[in-house]
Chains A and B, each alone.
Chain A
Amino acid sequence: MRTTVIVCSIALLVMLAAPALAASSREIVVEVTSIAAAKRPASERGEAAVELDPRLGPFSKNLLSLFAYDSYTFLSKDRATVEFSDATVLELPEHFSIEVAPEQLGRDGSDMIEMLVTLFREVPRGERGRGTPEREVILRTKIRLKNGGTVLLGGPPIRAGVLVLALSARG
Chain B
Amino acid sequence: MRRSCRFERYLTAFADGELPEKLNRKVEAHVGRCAACASELDSIRASDRILKSHGAPAVSNDRWAQFRHELKLELDVVDRESRRTAKIRETRPVHAPVPRRSYALAAACVVVLLVILTVGPLGVGPWRGGTAAASNECIVDSIESLAAGYTPMFFSSQDPEMTVIWVFSEEVEGGIRGEGPGAK
Interface residues of A (CB under 8 A from B): 1-2, 5-6, 8-10, 12-13, 16-17, 20-21, 23-24, 29, 31, 33, 37, 39, 58-62, 65-69, 77, 79, 112, 114, 119, 121, 136-146, 148-157, 161-162, 166-168, 170
Contacts and interface: CB of A to CB of B under 8 A. Distances in A.
A39 B175 contact: yes
B130 to A, nearest CB: 3
Interface of B: 96, 98-99, 101-103, 105-106, 109-110, 112-113, 116-117, 120-122, 127-132, 134-147, 150, 152, 154, 157, 160, 162-169, 171-172, 175-178, 181-184
A12 B109 contact: yes
A149 B134 contact: yes
Nearest to B147: A136
Contacts of B176: 39, 162
B144 A141 contact: yes
A31 B130 contact: yes
A112 B139 CA distance: 9
A141 B178 CA distance: 25
B172 A10 contact: no
The list of the 8 closest CB pairs from A to B, nearest first, reads A150-B130, A168-B130, A68-B182, A155-B167, A24-B121, A137-B146, A67-B182, A146-B137
A17 B112 CA distance: 10
Given A140-B145, A146-B136, A5 B166 contact: no
A153 B146 contact: no
B142 A142 contact: yes
Contact of B102 (A2, A67, A77): A2
A137 B145 contact: yes
A155 B101 CA distance: 60
A66 B134 contact: no
Given A10-B109, A139-B145, A141-B152, A156 B167 contact: yes
B131 A58 contact: yes
Contact of A29 (B127, B131, B145, B172): B127
A143 B139 CA distance: 6
A135 B147 CA distance: 10
A168 to B, nearest CB: 3
Contacts of B117: 16-17, 20
Contacts of B131: 58, 150
Given A139-B152, A139-B167, A168-B129, A149 B113 contact: no
B138 A144 contact: yes
A43 to B, nearest CB: 17
B160 to A, nearest CB: 5
A115 to B, nearest CB: 10
B98 A152 contact: no
User: Which of B106, B130, B134, B178: most chain A Cβ within 10 A?
Assistant: B130
Contact of A79 (B110, B129, B162, B168): B129
